[in-house]
Amino acid sequence: DIVMTQAPLSSPVTLGQPASISCRSSQSLVHSDGNTYLSWLQQRPGQPPRLLIYKISNRFSGVPDRFSGSGAGTDFTLKISRVEAEDVGVYYCMQSTQFLRTFGQGTKVEIK
């Protein structure tokens, strides 16, 4: 199985300041079809997960442009350009390149 490792696991951020989360996979996430199925999800307290970014850098419908994704191969990053109060929650990277999908441990973003 592919292991997804996130860092940091906790990220206290000042409102209006940027935040960055790293995700590393134990093997390449490039699929045989040429796509890299690395997604980022947000889970607000008491809510189901919500898709933010798919295929490394594509923002899902309705996601603010302060969220951006980057990376390639085995190293990926989610950036929030200016953190807002509504961004508090846990962020997960996940791979769906292999049928056995796997998630990172989650990174808790909170306001300082």
Partner 1 sequence: EVQLLESGGGLVQPGGSLRLSCAASGFTFSSYAMSWVRQAPGKGLEWVSIITGDDGSTYYADSVKGRFTISRDNSKNTLFLQMNSLRADDTAVYYCAKDYIVGPSAPPHFDYWGQGTLVTVSS
Q: Which is nearer to partner 1, 80 or 90 (CB)?
A: 90
Shortest distance (Å) from residue 69 CB to partner 1: 12
- Rounded to 10 degrees, what is the CA torsion of 86, 91, 95, 99? -90
Candidates 12-20, 50-58, 64-72, 74-82: pick the segment binding partner 1 (CB under 8 A). 50-58
What is residue 60's DSSP assignment? P
**Cα–Cα distance measured from residue 110 to residue 89, given in angstroms and rounded to the nearest whole number:** 7
* 26 near partner 1 (CB under 8 A): no
Q: Which residues contact 56 (CB under 8 A, 6 or more apart)?
A: 36, 38, 69, 70, 71, 72, 76
Please identify, using beta-carbon distances, which residue of 6 and 18 lies nearer to partner 1: 6
Q: Binding partner 1 by CB under 8 A: which of 20, 22, 37, 73?
A: 37
Contact between 71 and 79 (Cβ < 8 Å)? no
Nearer to partner 1, 9 or 15 (CB): 9
Residue closer to partner 1, measured from CB, 20 or 60: 60
- Judge if the upstream peptide bond of residue 64 is cis by omega within 30 degrees of 0: no
Site pattern 61..90 for partner 1 (x: CB under 8 A) = -----------------------------x
